[in-house]
Structure 1
Amino acid sequence: MSNPARQLSQSHDMTAKVAQMPQTRAGLALTQFRARATGMCAQRWAISDLNPA
């Protein structure tokens, strides 16, 4: 038989790991979005510098 305190501790550990996964994925997505947005802005700036209106 398992110890109830041990089961509760394992359940809490698993919950913490599952809760951390979306945070990690969101952080990675934000980092990638920033990189793409920065690249696009730099590209637009370079084009506007070449073709002033």
Structure 2
Amino acid sequence: MSPAACGTWPGERLAQAFNPQGWQQWLAAALIAPGWILATTIAAGLTRTLARR
């Protein structure tokens, strides 16, 4: 069966997977923000540790 016959192309499903909507979008933002804070904190700590040497 071709993708056209079933109504969706593989790219459409992939686009939906990487484009959260509704509560999933809020959850993604709620996980990304602390991740950036954690990464920034680690980078600052490493920079300070290496600068002391």
Pairwise TM-score range, normalised by the shorter structure? 0.5 to 0.7
Give the helix-richer structure, 1 or 2.
1
Structure 1: segments with no counterpart, 5+ residues:
1-18
Paired position in structure 2 for 1:7: none
Deviation at 1:48, TM superposition (A): 0.3
Determine which structure has more spread, i.e. the larger CA radius of gyration. Answer: 1
What is the aligned-residue RMSD (CA, Å)? 0.8
Q: Give TM-score scaled by structure 1 length.
A: 0.59
**Percent of counterpart pairs with the same letter?**
15
Higher RCO structure, 1 or 2 (CA under 8 Å, sep 6+): 2
Matches within 5 A, 1:28-39: 28-39=30-41
Structure 2 gap ranges (5+):
1-20
CA–CA distance in structure 2, aligned partners of residues 28 and 50 of structure 1: 34
